[in-house]
Structure 1
Amino acid sequence: MMSSMNANEISDKKMARRALVGSTSGAIIEWYDFSLYATASALIFPKLFFPNTDPFIAIILSFATFATGFLARPIGAIIFGHFGDRIGRKNALIVTLWMMGLSSAFMGFIPTYDSIGIWAPILLVLMRLIQGVGVGGEWAGSILLSMEWGKKKQQGFMASIPNAGVGVGMLLSSAIIGLCITLAGDSFYVWGWRIPFIASLLLLVVGLIIRAKIIETPSFRKVQEGETVSKMPVLDVIKQHPKQIFYTGLAKLSENAPFSIYTTFLINYSINNVNISSSYMVNVNTAASFLLCILIPLFGYLSDKIGIKRLFMMGAATTLIWGFVFVGFVNTGVPAMITAAMLISMIPHCMQTGALPALASQAFPARLRYSGTSLGTQIPAIFAGGIAPMICTYLIQATGTIYSIGFYIAFVAIASLIGTSKLKNLSNENGAVSTDNDGGLMLDTTNEVKA
């Protein structure tokens, strides 16, 4: 009996590690594709897909294609939220992986505007929409796959590791783009830019191999065994927990919108307004990505110690203040100050990114967790990260000052603080709320199977 229990414990630990690697590999692909497209929308697409327009309009149109991926994310949240709560986390994640990898790779084969005219941006937008649907279903599933295999006292840390895929994915995309710029030289805008997109196929194959070896999470299996699987989980979570979805969405704002400003918008602004080379900004982005790899799991670990909700609100409050300092640094026009602005920005961002996965997942019971977490985080992505670069470009054009961006960052930070303060922990099967002594929400999984 004892040897059987030990064998099960060893098996669970092995599967937990495998789930952690599998979920993180998908997150890396997701953020490799996201960062690659974000950089391309600032650096490449205005020249190759919108060449015959005013430079300001070309930038807006390029950022608009960037935003279309965010518009599609709620669709992915609905589709894969349904299947993730109906047939399991793993099965849904296999499909999202295919969608993200193939759509990104196909972008590398799309002819430019000079070759096929208007069909070039149309095909680009179509692939971006497919990519967005995949990402909309991937994020929640990847963190649940890792978190639901984790131990009770490590939920914040386990959920944060897939989010560290943000840094690894960005690091890979920035490094490959920087390498292609160096190797291709003057031919970068001819063929060199295509290589990073086509490389998505390699990441796709690796991710599929890893995920094929993972079994379903203990939490979802308990839902299945208890015959409490929802027939229409998306509708059920909307009916039963509408406030939780709304408050999760508010929390997401300051984690998502400023990040698009710190990276996508800043690259374009620096190249076009401060006369900084594209290779320099790509290298700065690479350094920021390296910080993400370290800081996100670090803050995920700290969230288990000081309270997940408390840490997230500390990050949002810091973002509220930092936004104006960030703009001041960028406004100097000094490359070293712009570099410092991006790198320091990663600290308040990672405080939120490290805590958000567990915070959002805790907000819903296991039987509706995939749907609730997906809707709560992907719908606001439209109004946060998706249109943030466009809003910043418009604000500067309309007000004549970059400091208007500081007020935009402050607005989303205040909204997040309000939403986070009202979020409840419904992570146990009965939807009860548990609060730790210091005011932070702690994951209560007493009614769930633990790894």
Structure 2
Amino acid sequence: MVLGNDEANKALRARDTERSAQVRRAAVASAIGTTIEWYDFFLYNTAAALIFPQLFFPASSSYAGAIQSFATYAVGFAARPVGAAIFGYWGDRIGRKATLIVTLLAMGIASGLVGVLPGTETIGPAAPLILVALRLIQGIAIGGEWSGSVLLAMEWGDQRKRGLLASFAQIGVPVGLVLGTGGMTLLSAVLSPAAFNSWGWRLPFLASLILVAVGLVIRLRILETPMFAKVVAEKRTSASPVVEVVKHHWREILLSAGLRFSEQMPFYLFTSYVLVYVVEQRHIGKTFVLNSVLVAAALELVTILWFSQLSDRVGRKRVYLTGAVLTGLIGFPYFAILENGGQTLIFFAIVIAMIPHAMQYGPQAALIGESFPTRLRYGGAGIGYQLASVFAGGPAPLLATWLLHTTGTPYAIAGYIVLSAVITVICGVLLKDRSRADIDDEGTYHRAGRGPKPA
């Protein structure tokens, strides 16, 4: 009898050890996968600000070229909800792992093709059209990537640490920004302007193919999440998950989108538009701005994890809404420094502006993911998250360029930031905080009055 107990204990310990290993792999795979996705995406952002106006819109004025370049940038954001719906369907039908492999391949191939795309002077009007098509593929892939990466870590781990575990997908943003921006910074520093503008900017895009190969090896070793595996075993998968989540959880989808305004819109101003503004309006070298963004991203790598862990202790909404309010408060001082400050002050403004962003971006993954039941979570979280891309992230550099050109003052852009913070605070107050709820229990969502009664 004792021997039997010993064998049972050994089996239990072995199962716990394997689960712990899977949790670690899921967290690493989540972080590395989103790092690759965002590395590719930020490369495009940087190139859209510094290279693409001259390469793909050479006949346009500086202002028109920037508008056209940022318009192709916005196309990728418009495609994200489409990607969230497409991959949300498959993620809630066949599982998180298989779906994430497809999104990774799509993103990597599209980015590699951008790296070899000739300019308008070589192949004519086809060049910007192909660029837009590749940007669409990037956007669709990103749209399907985010919720899957979040769920891969969040559904494997300890529910008491959901904020921290889900945030491993979020750290892909600062790491991708460091790698993407860092690569561009290094090349712009060591190459002549002519060499960088001609072929140097292409190298980081081609390098993404190597990163994709690494990411695939890691993701292939991960098992399906226990929460979704349970749904499959109990035959509770939805025949039309996207239709069902929109029908029964439309409120959470809309609130999740609004929740992101003060996180996403200012972020793309702080990391992409700032490159154009400081270089063209203040005539400060682009290497200085790229280095400043690089330091800001490195700081956010730490602060995202810290604020996510804090949200597990004090509640997701408390941390998130504090970050939203701070974002609204820094808008005017931020642009006052960009307009009038010296390089030291500009450096600190760029770096410090990312702290309120981290307060939102870290806890955000769990806050949105927790709002939907397991069987509909991939599509629901992804659509809610990516809808904000259409109205907040994508148009941000485009609208900022237009506001500055139309009003002649950067404070119009600061007012835009304040508006985004107001929208986020309202939506954050209305969205239910499930930081301590059992998200593996369908009854959690039925009791909240969302969705059909579980079987």
Give the TM-score normalised by the residue count of structure 2: 0.94
Map of 1:438 onto structure 2? none
Gaps of 5+ in 1: 436-446
Alignment-mate amino acid for residue 47 of structure 1: Q
1:124 aligned to which of 131, 148, 160: 131
Alignment-mate amino acid for residue 136 of structure 1: G
1:219 paired to 2:227: yes
Gaps of 5+ in 2: 1-7, 448-453
Deviation by residue 1:96-149 (Cα, 9 ceiling, x = unmatched):
000111101110000011111111111111111001000000011001101111
Residues of 1 paired with 2:430 and 2:189: CA distance?
A: 49
1:386 aligned to which of 373, 378, 394: 394
Deviation by residue 1:394-443 (Cα, 9 ceiling, x = unmatched):
111121211011110111111111111111238343252699xxxxxxxx
Kept in 2: contact 1:166–1:292 (CA 8 A) = no
Map of 2:3 onto structure 1? none
- SS of 1:268's equivalent in the other structure is helix
Summarize the Cα distance change of 1:172–1:434 in structure 2 as closer, same or farther, 3 Å threshold: farther
Map of 2:408 onto structure 1? 400
Report % sequence identity.
43
The equivalences for 1:39-438 within 5 A come to 39-185=46-192, 186-424=194-432, 425=434, 427-432=439-444
Alignment-mate amino acid for residue 170 of structure 2: N
What is the CA-CA distance between 1:279 and the residue it aligns to? 1.3
What is the CA-CA distance between 1:59 and the residue it aligns to? 0.2
Map of 1:25 onto structure 2? 32
Kept in 1: contact 2:73–2:394 (CA 8 A) = yes
What is the CA-CA distance between 1:333 and the residue it aligns to? 4.6
Kept in 2: contact 1:274–1:333 (CA 8 A) = no
Residues of 1 paired with 2:19 and 2:440: CA distance?
A: 21
More divergent stretch after superposition (294-303 vs 181-190)? 181-190
What is the number of equivalent residue pairs in this alignment? 437
Kept in 2: contact 1:143–1:160 (CA 8 A) = yes
Map of 2:4 onto structure 1? none
Kept in 2: contact 1:63–1:390 (CA 8 A) = yes
Kept in 2: contact 1:74–1:136 (CA 8 A) = yes
- SS of 1:275's equivalent in the other structure is coil
Instruction: Flag as ranges the 4+ runs of structure 1 deviating above 2 A.
Output: 424-435
Task: Give me the CA root mean square deviation.
Answer: 1.6
Alignment-mate amino acid for residue 303 of structure 2: L
Residues of 2 paired with 1:360 and 1:15: CA distance?
A: 23
